[in-house]
Structure 1
Amino acid sequence: FLKPGLEDESRSNFGLIDQIAALLWIQDNIDKFGGDPNSVTLFGQGSGAVCANFLMMSPMIIKEGDKLLFHRAILMSGTALSDWALVKNPTHVTLQVAKAVRCPSNGKELEECLRKRRLEDLMDISISIPEYQTPFGPIIDQTVIPNYPKHIMSAYNDIFKRFELIYGVMEVESAHLLNTVAMAAGMLQEETNSELRKYFETKFEANVGFILAHTLSAYSRFVGTDNKLNSYDGQSYDSAFLNRDYLLNILSDVRTVAPVTLMAKLHSALNLNSYFYVFGHKTASNYYYVSKICYIHTVDFL
């Protein structure tokens, strides 16, 4: 997904183009395996769901006339509306990569130089970006992705409503963002607030303190100190776990649940074949002792 040049016309989104090539192959060969080229479902989880959602809105999935390369999608725990779906500053990342592999930082020479570098050298590069931002991923290039996803979903109804959709979330979507100690032992309130502030600072340029305070106030009714919340399956459920779950609920909502819910609202208004699920099946083993977290990100497809 690295943008290989600095010019606006520099070709990008190769990861999505590879997926389009795979869909073209499916169209040409699916009948040989007993499949129907007019009934193809694209299925993705997390970043895969983001890619599938972007492809739904891409003009490059139209093969002949108005024939589509796929016709429905299953989006698990991700959407193009998620705040981590798009790379916000791809040029900044490209310049870091160019410097790391000693390529010139100008024009066509940069693109040609990057293409000559070994894969191993590119894979060893360490990129410096704020936490919670995406270094490599889809960008708006006016070709594969013609515009911001919310604009396409809202303004170009005919594009978005073409597909039947199943989409959904886990009850906890952000457990993978915390370290093992925090997940197993819980967190101090100061640690929770610090992590939230760090997140909001990457998303908002001003009034971070106000946004943080308002968010904490809004969620305070879900995490309290009453006896019901402080016990779980007859065991003590102390404040360290409450603080951790406080953070997980907020990050899950803002990064995954709210974007998927917004997409559901937009799509269901256009197509009746629009289905939302919430995965809440409690697994036999509980990874996190004395915890309410039994259905976390990625467990739904294990």
Structure 2
Amino acid sequence: SSMSLTHKPSDLTLQVASQLRCPLDSGPLMNCLRNKPVKELLHVKINVPMYTTPFGPNVDGIVIEDSPEKLLRQEKYLNILSRLDIMFGLTSSEAFHQFPAPTVTYGVTSEYLETILRSFLLSTYKQNSDTILNSILNEYTDYRIPQENNITNRNNMFKIFSDAKVAAPLLKMAEIHSEVSTHRSNSYFYVFEHQTTHGYYSQV
């Protein structure tokens, strides 16, 4: 998933060091951070592209030697994976909590949908974002609906972000596990679709 790794961690390090007035050299920086009060650390403001993970693991070639997908294809990890029973699960909407309450309640315009998708694509794929955007809008537009409205746009936005950030990576992982497990283990998959009638955002 694009949100499972952080990218350009050196840029984030510079931002943190600058705001906390710490040196940039690795050793002195670590000592400086250790001596900072928790409250000061929590108040650091990080400027990162939308829909990216500011703090998290990154492929550094040492702790994480390669991308997770490539590592999972290595024999030593496949042997471990093939011995495990794994249950994968999704809810009917994995994305609504990423957006503000008014967006969830009242929906979004077509222009807002395109803007937010463009921001996501630029931060994730960098290149060919216009081509990808057009393909996504074509795939998720229901042409049987005479005229789309804000709620339809909102639902499409939730589907797109749910699929891109959660469902597609999870299905890929399930596919890899199913391929290597043969008769040694089992793969299970469920989708939880129950909608409460009394909780927040029951309409989602």
Write the mapping of 1:42-191 to structure 2, written as runs, cut at 5 A. Answer: 82-142=1-61, 144-156=63-75, 157-191=78-112
Cα distance in 1, alignment partners of residues 124 and 18 from structure 2: 27
| Residue 269 (structure 1) aligns with | 179
* Corresponding residue to 1:245 among 143, 151, 155: 155
CA contact (8 A) 1:152 1:160 kept: no
Alignment CA distance shift 1:121-1:286 (3 Å) = closer
* Corresponding residue to 1:210 among 131, 149, 166: 131
AA aligned opposite 1:197: R
Instruction: Tell me the percent identity.
Output: 32
Q: CA deviation at 1:286?
A: 5.5
Q: CA deviation at 1:251?
A: 0.7
Cα distance in 2, alignment partners of residues 159 and 140 from structure 1: 21
| Residue 5 (structure 1) aligns with | none
Cα distance in 2, alignment partners of residues 274 and 209 from structure 1: 37
Alignment CA distance shift 1:119-1:136 (3 Å) = same
Q: Structure 2: which 5+ runs fail to align?
A: none
Is the helix fraction higher in 1 or 2?
2
Taking structure 1 as the reference length, what is the TM-score of the superposition? 0.62
Taking structure 2 as the reference length, what is the TM-score of the superposition? 0.89
What is the CA deviation profile of residues 43-79 of structure 1, one whole-angstrom value per residue up to 9, with x for unaligned ones?
A: xxxxxxxxxxxxxxxxxxxxxxxxxxxxxxxxxxxxx
What is the CA deviation profile of residues 153-176 of structure 1, one whole-angstrom value per residue up to 9, with x for unaligned ones?
A: 223321322322111111111101
Equivalent residue pairs, number: 199
| Residue 225 (structure 1) aligns with | 145
What is the CA deviation profile of residues 206-249 of structure 1, one whole-angstrom value per residue up to 9, with x for unaligned ones?
A: 2211110111111123x7415xxx9xxxxxxx711001001111
Structure with larger RCO (C-alpha < 8 A, sep 6+): 2
Q: CA deviation at 1:180?
A: 0.9
Cα distance in 2, alignment partners of residues 113 and 201 from structure 1: 34
Alignment CA distance shift 1:188-1:134 (3 Å) = same
AA aligned opposite 1:93: L
Cα distance in 2, alignment partners of residues 166 and 288 from structure 1: 27
Q: CA deviation at 1:143?
A: 5.1
CA contact (8 A) 1:153 1:159 kept: no
More divergent stretch after superposition (135-144 vs 124-133): 135-144
Alignment CA distance shift 1:188-1:105 (3 Å) = same
Secondary structure in structure 1 of the residue aligned to 2:73 = helix
